[in-house]
Structure 1
Amino acid sequence: MTDEKILEAARAAFERCVEREADNRAEALDDLRFARLGEQWPAEVRRRREREGRPCLTINRLPAFIRQVVNDARQNKPSISVHPVDGAADPAVAEIMSGLIRQVEQASDADVAYDTALEFAVTCGVGYFRVGTAWARDDGFEQDVVIQRIANPFTVYGDPDSTAADSADWNSCFVVESLTPAAFEKRWKGAEKVDWSSDAWAGLSAPWFDRGGERVMVAEWWTREEVRTSVVGLSDGRVLPLDAVEERAAELAAAGVVPVGAPREVVSHKVTQRILTGAEVLEENAWPGRYIPIVPVYGEDLNVEGERVLRSLVRDAKDPQRMFNYWRTTSTELVALAPKAPFIGRKGAFETDAEKWASANTDTHAFIEYDGPEAPMRQPFAGVPAGALQEALNAADDLKAIIGLHDASLGARSNETSGRAILARQREGDVSTFHYIDNLSRAIRHAGRVLIDLIPRVYSTARIVRVLGPEGQAAGVPVNQPVSVAGVERVFDLGVGKYDLTVSAGPGFTTRRQEAAVQMTEFVRAFPAVAPVLGDLLAKNLDWPGADEIARRLQALLPPAVKGAQDGAAQPDPQVAQLQAVMAQGMERLKALEAENAALRAGREVEAEKLRLEAEKLRIEAFRAETERLGVGRGIETP
């Protein structure tokens, strides 16, 4: 495809994206300005009140609700775990990929990318982050995978035909950047001067080019196309493209590897990144993965008559916030405009200190003299405007009810008095906003899918990769090369096998941590012998000042076997063995007590049945005696 055809297709695709996203972007920008910049008074109302000299107070309560949701997610980071799927996959390679993903997240500050995307999703309805590659060293040719934040979500235009909860089905995407002509020439043309008056640029309209010569838009245009290829199964379990097998035929034959079965046609995807302006294609790069590496984090995702509608946490809270501002402004205005309570006295009572009496409502005087036998009296204050204050309270309650976060979730005093009731109300708040954190987990899951697809292609050569364990311990692992493990020669080939992943996340970590501390405390009370082993974990989950330092000191006192287990190299220890024996005896004793209780219950049931039969027998005997006395029923026999 020629550059002119590419530019024509790009302009048409971009116009379609702009048209489909126009309503969502307008609402998102209004949400951002309303909730974060405090632009909460209608412009005409503000201008009219300012002309009249009347106040326009903005008491913005929305950032507290936004921070509650975002900070819950910050305290409980979703984690990615990779699992083998097919027979060719290796559990050890899956563990290496899990550790490599953790290393990628740590090295590229992925938590910043996740937090930024979630904050925009809560505030505007959608946020984004991206996956990319970077050179591992300045003096080498090896690359690393990185996760990068997108600080401005309005620079991303997603696929208008997408319906997935993530970007897995995106076939097109634009990431735009606005540059000055000088910055553009410095980055893309070097010393060569751009002729901005040429026909190629003269035919462009906004937003590709500002006619005043102030800005020029540079866009990354990502496209994904279906590609049909043939693959061949090999005798060593690998599946390779047919052309790769033909190229490496001699190498495979020397290794004793032969094709198995006939080739099969498969459908894959080819992703291309083009960096362009409206007038020329600047770069064209083939992306090694099969997904467009831009990942959205959605807020509320709705489909209304075929149109995708993205909503934020604050969308329905705007009117209550406006009412709160209005009524607080009204109450302040009424109190401020109320006349100062005057002093009342008989004629001539204020002649001696007339100046002091004139400023008595504005200045502080040590004393004021008056004339006459009786002192002047101040008139009582009319009182605060109770109706306006009540309406402000009603608006504040409406805010909490609409968003779903009440006083207990925000850390304020509420009607709950017991700790259990407070935790229950906090959990209700976590549940009412959990869909935002769950959408972040979905986005991170797709990012993990992108990483699993990229890792075998980026880390394809023999090298030593740094991986992180679940607790953050680092290790170097040789991949794509022979290595001796426990005396056995093996190769950790990241390109062999199929792998899937899970993302674990839960409701607010603050609540879970408190519950964990309570459960650990109860467990230690039930089994005091485990206190030396669990003491550091219990201290880590407490909210004391210095709890982390206490946990580190208790961890230093752990038996060697427990420390070894944490490091992945457990060693037998007599104290731990004794502790395990005590716990085993306790469990056996518990089972014996349960069996004894069951036997006692069964015995009591048998005894009760005997008593019931005896009572029935006595009843029948009494009936028999009565019928004999009356001369009937002589044939009745007692069982």
Structure 2
Amino acid sequence: MSKYDAKTSKPDDIIKDALEAFDKSAEHDAHNRTAFEDDIDFSLLENQWPERVRRDRELEGRPCLTVNKLVSMGRQVVNDARKNKPGIKVLPVDDQADPDTAEILNGVIRNIEQSSNAEVAYDTALEHAVFGGFGYFRINTRYSSDDTFQQDIVIERVSNPLSVYPDCYASSADSSDWNYCFVTDSMTKAAFEKAYPGAEQSDWAGEAWQNMASPWLDGEFVQIAEYWTREKSKKSILLLSDGMVIEADDYEKNRETFDALGLQVQGQREVDSHKVRQRIMSGAEVLETVEWAGKYIPIVPVYGAEVNLKGKRHFRSLIRGAKDAQRMFNYWRTTSTELVALAPKAPFIGRKGAFETDAAKWATANTQSHAFMEYDGPEPPQRQPFSGVPAGALQEALNASDDIKTVMGIYDASLGARSNETSGKAIIARQMESDNATFHFVDNLSRAIRHAGRIMIDLIPQVYSVPQVIRIVGEDGEPDMKRVNQEVTEQQEDPQTGEMREITKIYDLTVGRYDLTVSAGPSFASLRQEAANQMIELIRAYPDAAPVIGDLLVKNLDWPGADEIADRMRKAMGGTEEGAPDPQMGQAREAIQQYASALQQMQQRLQAAEADKSLEARKLDIAAYEAETKRISATTRETRLPAGLYTDG
């Protein structure tokens, strides 16, 4: 990186090219920027009445209501994406790429996202795309601390999408084909002088920039711009005798190491590459030049619905087509409110001269309460009756509300309204109608995150290129420390014998080619809760599974101490904290099983003996019962036979 030098830092050709590119980009993208401002002002800032109409109604003392239905509907899309955050998955591509190293890269990217609050950058960009038509976030590098040269990759949000001026010739769904880009900003004169002492305090001189009605364009601030360029370049790659492909510059830097390993160059060829530079510019000179390590401009767009007409790309927000329906809804709700509010102010009707007595009270009868009012003439004045709720205005408001839902593709089921469906499948099917209608916004975020992952995969070998210990984050959000770009010794289970043995591995982040995929789904917390619910259902259906998965169930429950309880259950079941079998616990379990088997046999013998005794007692009971039965039978027969007919036979 070359810092500012007041004597040599005035390349007029770069300034000229930058000004021309800036004006061209601003002109080409002016329609999207104007539409973005109007959409954001209409939906989020709720300026939904024409200024002239609002002013006239306020002067007349008439209501001018805004019942904004667009924000809640737009939040349905944004918050649904928050619950189903796209995740980056790194995959090995060539024979030099290692699946275990790919998992390390996954952990590095998750750590980058976690430590830099990437979800804020993603959500901000998507919200701008939903309500304005486009949004941005960016990839950057920062020193790990003030006392080190190690750098970290970070993901930052772009809070003002209008500060970005993209390549007007680009056509990709992401920024992978951008060859230039501007990011404008402003600094106070004091901060500018401190950062660039001796530099000329000149505003950015682009014609489009100066024509903008910006509140920053005053005497207290200096306008600057990041000017990103991406130019084609050539690099030489070498094929070594072990099949490794390496850049010629890297080979020369480590030639002694390769010679010691006996590796020789087997082939060489020139390949196309790209060189990216970042120039910090005022309107008069280049203040600072940074040689970017990657091959992509690290500004990532998130687009809304895209339409290409006559070579111009139009990015449409979710709410753009619903603005007219929202205006109608505001008008009819205002009209119905106004009609109902005016109903109590209906005038009194009476003959001429009926209001001469207590004229002041009659004049304020609609606004003040009076204990009594006198009138002139035989007949008292009569108030006009209330005409009722304006049904026509209310019906038109309902029609406008339905129009908003139809245009945006978000229906009552997604807004929580009850319907005739009673089964879960039917309700989910109705909710998915809205998800399908707005899914392209979430999918565009996935495309942007995929390109962000591509940028990070390109940067990681450059930023984490030396032997070091880095933090990675697992899928469950648990951090871990890994040694990279050096030999490490690890414990690994032998798949044949099941014994633990030591192996030596190298997680080299600078070797091999990797690709990635992006999938959107529930967050790990949601998946964890769902897993716990499914385990509970399994135990209910099959209780014998409880001793087998009990520790996993407790681990997935979301309450304090769950992990500690799971560890205790695992130990009680004969496992260690790492999940591997404990030999001593295994022997103890075998002894317990033997004692339990012997005890069971003794219980069976005891039950058999008790059964024999009960059988003898039962036989005695039966004999006594038979004797008693014969006695009763004989007594009954002697009583019923007539005299003289009784015989022993």
Same fold (TM over 0.5): yes
Q: Would the aligned equivalents of 2:27 and 2:208 in 1 still touch at CA under 8 Å? A: no
Correspondence for 1:6 = 14
Matched, 1:110 2:125: no
Which residue is equivalent to 1:331? 336
Separation (CA, whole Å) in 1 of partners of 2:16 and 2:577: 58
Structure 2 equivalent of residue 207 of structure 1: 209
Q: Which amino acid in the other structure matches residue 570 of structure 2?
A: P
1:438-517 matches, cutoff 5 A: 438-486=443-491, 487-506=502-521
Query: Deviation of residue 265 (structure 1)?
Result: 1.5
In structure 2, the partner of 1:167 is 175
Structure-2 change in CA distance of 1:566 and 1:274 (3 Å): farther
Secondary structure of the residue aligned to 1:207 is helix
Question: Are the counterparts in 2 of residues 73 and 437 from structure 1 also a CA contact under 8 Å?
Answer: yes
Judged with a 3 Å threshold, the aligned counterparts in structure 2 of structure 1 residues 408 and 370 are, in CA distance, closer, same or farther, namely farther
Amino acid at match of 1:503: V
CA offset at residue 540 of structure 1? 10
Compared CA separation, residues 569 and 359, structure 1 to 2 (3 A): same
Whole-Å separation in 2 of the counterparts to 1:317 and 1:2: 50
Indicate yes or no: 2:236 matched with 1:226.
Answer: no
In 1, Cα distance between equivalents of 2:187 and 2:572 = 58
Q: CA deviation at 1:186?
A: 3.4
Q: Give the CA deviation at 1:239.
A: 1.5
Q: Name the structure 2 match of 1:176.
A: 184
**Contact map agreement 1:563 1:570 (CA 8 A) in 2:** no
* Partner AA of 1:250 in structure 2: E
Which residue does the alignment assign to 2:601? none
1:251 to partner: Cα distance: 2.9
How far apart in 2 are the matches of 1:564 and 1:271? 57
Residues in 2 aligned to 1:564 and 1:320: alpha-carbon distance in whole angstroms: 66
Aligned to 2:259: 253
Question: Given that residues 426 and 511 in structure 1 are in contact (C-alpha distance below 8 angstroms), is that contact kept between their aligned partners in structure 2?
Answer: no
Provide the C-alpha distance between the structure 1 equivalents of 2:243 and 2:146, rounded to a whole number of angstroms: 37
Query: Distance in 1 between the 2:80 and 2:345 partners?
Result: 48
1:333-358 C-alpha deviation (Å, 9 max, x unpaired): 11222353678999999999999999
The whole-number CA distance in structure 2 between the counterparts of 1:167 and 1:566 is 49
Confirm or deny: 8 A CA contact 2:466 2:485 kept in the other structure.
Answer: yes
CA offsets 1:28-55 (integer angstroms, 9 cap, x no match): 1100000000111112222232333322
1:85 maps to 93
Q: How does 1:14-25 map to 2 (within 5 A)?
A: 14-25=22-33
With normalisation by structure 2, the TM-score equals 0.77
DSSP 3-state at the match of 1:409: helix
User: Within 2, Cα distance between the matches of 1:388 and 1:558?
Assistant: 67
CA separation of 1:558 and 1:127: change in aligned 2, threshold 3 A:
farther
Q: Secondary structure at the match of 2:471?
A: strand
Tell me the residue number matched to 1:587.
Answer: none
How far does residue 9 in structure 1 lie from its aligned partner after superposition? Answer: 0.6
Q: Which residue of 2 aligns with 1:295?
A: 300
Which residue among 571, 585, 589 is the counterpart of 2:581? 571
Deviation at 1:556, TM superposition (A): 3.6
Residue 106 of structure 2 corresponds to: 98
Tell me the equivalent position of 2:222.
Answer: 216
Tell me how far apart the structure 2 counterparts of residues 302 and 564 of structure 1 sit (CA, whole Å): 62
1:118-197 aligned at under 5 Å gives the runs 118-189=126-197, 192=198, 194=200
Deviates more, 1:501-510 or 1:460-469: 501-510
Q: Summarize the Cα distance change of 1:507–1:54 in structure 2 as closer, same or farther, 3 Å threshold.
A: farther
Give the drift of 1:499.
0.8
Distance 2:74 2:574 in 1: 42
Q: 1:271 aligns with which of 276, 283, 287?
A: 276
CA contact (8 A) 1:208 1:216 kept: no
**CA deviation vs aligned residue, 1:228-248 (integer Å, no higher than 9, x gap):** 122111234432222433454
Looking at structure 2, the residues matched to 66 and 377 of structure 1 have their Cα atoms a distance apart, in angstroms, of 51
SS at match of 1:472: coil
| 1:408 aligns to 2:416 (yes or no) | no
Q: How many angstroms apart in 2 are the aligned matches of 1:538 and 1:320? A: 50
1:28 & 1:90 partners in 2: Cα distance? 45
Secondary structure at the residue paired with 1:413?
coil
Maintained 8 Å contact 1:536/1:552: no
Name the CA distance, whole Å, in 2 between partners of 1:511 and 1:344. 68
- Cα distance in 2 for partners of 1:306, 1:531 equals 63
Q: Is the 8 A contact 2:140 2:153 kept in 1?
A: yes
Q: d(CA) in 1 for partners of 2:222 and 2:267? A: 53
Letter in 2 for 1:145: I
Specify the SS of the correspondent of 1:88: coil
Preserved contact between residue 461 and residue 480 of structure 1 (Cα < 8 Å)? yes
CA distance in 2, matches of 1:62, 1:347: 53
- Helix, strand or coil at the partner of 2:46: coil
AA paired with 1:425? R
- Sequence identity (%): 56
Q: 1:33 is matched with which residue: 41, 57, 75?
A: 41
The residue matched to 2:209 in structure 1 has which SS?
A: coil
CA shift at 1:193, angstroms?
7.5
Is 1:549 the counterpart of 2:559 in the alignment?
Answer: yes
Show the counterpart of 1:628.
none
2:596 alignment partner in structure 1 = none
- Give the alignment's Cα RMSD to 1 decimal: 4.1
| Cα separation, 1, equivalents of 2:358 and 2:205 | 82
Deviation at 1:509, TM superposition (A): 11
1:629 aligns with none
Q: Structure 2: give runs of 5+ residues left out of the alignment.
A: 1-8, 492-501, 591-649
Could you list the per-position Cα deviations for residues 249-286 of structure 1 after superposition, in whole angstroms to 9, with x for gaps in the alignment? 33311122212x32022111111111101200000110
CA separation in 2, counterparts of 1:499 and 1:178? 39
Paired amino acid for 1:548: D
User: What SS class does the counterpart of residue 414 from structure 2 fall into?
Assistant: coil
- The 1:395–1:337 alpha-carbon spacing in structure 2 relative to 1, beyond 3 Å, is same
Alpha-carbon offset, residue 449 of structure 1: 0.7
Aligned to 1:634: none
Matched, 1:310 2:318: no
Structure 2 CA distance for partners of 1:305 and 1:342, relative to 1, 3 Å: closer
Residue number in structure 2 paired with 1:434: 439
Query: Which residue in the other structure is 2:626 paired with?
Result: none
Is the partner of 1:56 in helix, strand or coil? coil
Listed as ranges, the gaps of 5+ residues in structure 1 are 542-546, 579-639
Question: CA separation in 1, counterparts of 2:427 and 2:355?
Answer: 59
Q: Distance in 1 between matches of 2:369 and 2:539?
A: 64
Post-superposition Cα deviations, 1:122-157, rounded to whole Å, max 9, x if no partner, equal 011111000111111211111111111111111011
TM-score, normalised to structure 1, is 0.78
Question: Residue 342 and residue 66 in structure 1: after superposition, are their counterparts in 2 closer, same or farther (change >3 A)?
Answer: same
Residue 238 of structure 1 pairs with residue 248 of structure 2:
no
Give the CA deviation at 1:222. Answer: 0.7
Whether the 8 Å contact between 1:467 and 1:476 is mirrored in structure 2 is yes
By how many angstroms is 1:410 displaced?
1.4
2:326 paired residue among 316, 321, 328:
321
Q: Is the 8 A contact 2:23 2:208 kept in 1?
A: no
CA contact (8 A) 2:571 2:577 kept: no
CA contact (8 A) 2:199 2:287 kept: no
Q: Is the 8 Å Cα contact of residues 83 and 522 (structure 2) preserved in structure 1?
A: no
Aligned to 1:52: 60
Size of the alignment, in residue pairs?
563
2:345 is paired with a residue whose SS is coil
Residue 83 of structure 1: CA displacement?
Answer: 1.3
Q: Secondary structure at the match of 1:433?
A: helix
Do 1:564 and 1:571's aligned partners in 2 also have CA atoms closer than 8 Å? Answer: yes
CA deviation string 1:389-419 (max 9, x = no partner): 1000000000011111112211233454444
Q: What is the CA–CA distance in structure 2 between the aligned matches of 1:561 and 1:528, rounded to whole Å?
A: 20
Distance 2:17 2:273 in 1: 23
Q: Cα distance 1:566–1:73, how it changes in 2: closer, same or farther (>3 A)?
A: farther
